[in-house]
Amino acid sequence: PTLRLPVVVRDDDSTDVTLRLVAGPEGMALEARGKRGLLVWTPAPDRLARRRVFGATVEATDEDGNRAQQGLTVVVDGVLED
């Protein structure tokens, strides 16, 4: 299974916002487009055998250099077999 999590930034006084994935498990990526993005991750089966809780941090930076970070925890509860 693949995680697809929308990311949305609210910054009313800036038009240019950069999103980036600061931390996350191997293979996690952030597809960023302005104030919106999509966090995508397909965990490798061998990682799930060792661990079921994963953390990630997304950072938004606006054109004035202001930054905000949001952390999240992904808990894998049950794995579908192919």
Q: CB of 22 within 8 A of CB of 71?
A: no
Strand partners, 18: 61
Residue 55 tokens, joined: 């953390």
Average pLDDT over residues 20-25: 96
Percent of the chain with pLDDT over 90: 56
Segment 20-24 mean pLDDT: 96
Please name the amino acid found at residue 19.
L
The yes-or-no verdict on residue 50 having pLDDT over 80 is no
User: Mean pLDDT, to the nearest integer, of 3-25?
Assistant: 90
Taking the model in full, what pTM does it have? 0.82
- Of residues 11 and 55, which shows the higher confidence score? 55
Contact present, 21 and 28 (Cβ < 8 Å):
yes
Closest CA to 50 of 79, 72, 28: 79
Q: Is 38 helix (H, G, I), strand (E, B) or coil?
A: strand
